[in-house]
Structure 1
Amino acid sequence: MSTTTADTELARLTSAVAAIATNLVELDQNPDRQELGRITLTGRTATAWADASDALERLWQGHRQLTEVITRAEALRGQRRMNDADRDAYRHQVLGPSITLSTATVPLAQRGLLGAGQVVATCTPAELLSAMESSFRTAVAVVSGAGEAWRRGVPAAAEAADTLQRVRDLTRQAGAGAADRLLDEADRLLGGITRVLLSDPLGADLTGLADVRSLVDRADAERTSAAELQASLAQRLRDARVLLADLDAAQRAAGETSDAAAGRFPDDQIIAVRMTDPRPELAAIDALAAAGHWALISPRLSAWRRQATDRLAALRDASARNAALLTERNELRGRLDAYRAKALRRGLGEDPVLGPLAEAARDRLHQAPCDLPAARSAVDAYQDALSATIAAREAR
Structure 2
Amino acid sequence: MSRDEVDRTLARLRDEKERISTALLELEAHHGYQLLEGAALDGGTRRVQSEVRAGMASLWGLFDLYGRALGAAEDLRARHPKPGQAQLTELTRLLAGPSVELPVTEVPLERRTLLSVPSGEKLTLRAAVERMTPLYEEVAQAVAALDTVWSVLLSRLAEVEAERRAAEVLLDSLGEAEPELDRLRADLDAVAALVRGDPMALARGDRADTGRLDTIRTGLAEVRRRLEEAERVRDGFADRLRGVAGVLDLLRRTEAETRRVRDEVLAKIASPVLPDLPDMSASLADRLAAVGRPGQGAAPRGGWTDLAARVADLEKAANGALERARETAGVIRGLLERREELRGRLDAYRVKAARLGHAEDAELARIYDRARAMLWTSPCDLRKATVTLSEYQQAINARAKGTNR
* TM-score, shorter chain, exceeding 0.5: no
Please give the TM-score of this superposition, normalised by the length of structure 2.
Answer: 0.44
Structure possessing the higher relative contact order (Cα contacts under 8 Å, 6 or more residues apart): 2
Q: Which has the larger radius of gyration?
A: 1
